[in-house]
Amino acid sequence: MKILGFDSSGMVASVAIVEDDILVAEYSVNYKKTHSQTLLPMFDEVVRMTELDPESIDAIAVAAGPGSFTGLRIGMSTVKGLGLALDKPVIAVPTCHALAFNLWGSDKLICPILDARRSQVYTALYEFENGEMITLKEQEAMDIGDLTDIINTMERDVIFVGDGIPVFKERIKENVIKNVSFAPAHLNRQRAGSVAALGLIYMKEGKAESADDVKPVYLRKSQAEREREEKDGRR
């Protein structure tokens, strides 16, 4: 089974091809250029390098969110377009799930954190048991202090992954009681290889969606909606 992976949920633009248990190609760039300029040219490069016939793939996996709203939409619109044109299904992989999958097999509590501004993180908690990733806490936006409180109740060593690390590292070290570690350079950001590999598992579980219906998971309403609801609440 051949799965494409795309991740443009954060600063990293990343594309990958996974065929069964082999990562055929992975191309990640963590640089300031905007994803709309990089993502498709990167995919084109990977296609040419591996002489891939896009028609031969089985599905397209994408980091569906949370993350940068604009980044998510660039990735999602790209895979929706590919899915429509190639007549292939799309697998929406939660961004935190894919980040945790970078640390496959770890015996620690795995905590992806994405900077969500306003001293919040998009986060979730996972562990591996017999090679299977188990979600202990689903993805949500929460205050970094609340997150470290939850981690402390679990009384386990924890490893962090994601672009929230440089922002919250000091607070995490101060607040978390048990041993804390941070994923190294090659594992601590979004990787389309993880998105595709996890996508392949989801595909086998029947979790693929129609390219027409799939949409990003923002975990947050737009500012206008939030303000309107606050106003209605005050009435």
Residues that bind other proteins (CB under 8 A): 34, 36-41, 43-44, 54, 69-70, 73-74, 76-86, 211-212, 215-216, 218, 222-225, 228
Alpha-carbon distance values, 19 to 60, 138, 227 (Å):
12, 28, 46
Residue whose CB is less far from other proteins, 104 or 218: 218
Token code pair at residue 212: 């027409």
Residue in the block written with tokens 């607070």: 171
Token code pair at residue 46: 């990977």
Residue whose CB is less far from other proteins, 77 or 179: 77
- The answer to whether 22 touches 33, Cβ cutoff 8 Å, is no
Residue whose CB is less far from other proteins, 40 or 187: 40
Q: Minimum distance from CB of 73 to other proteins (Å)? A: 5
CA atoms of 66 and 86, how far apart (whole Å): 26
Q: Minimum distance from CB of 136 to other proteins (Å)? A: 29
Q: Minimum distance from CB of 155 to other proteins (Å)? A: 40
- The answer to whether 118 touches 108, Cβ cutoff 8 Å, is no
Residue whose CB is less far from other proteins, 52 or 159: 52
Q: Minimum distance from CB of 208 to other proteins (Å)? A: 15
- The answer to whether 95 touches 190, Cβ cutoff 8 Å, is yes
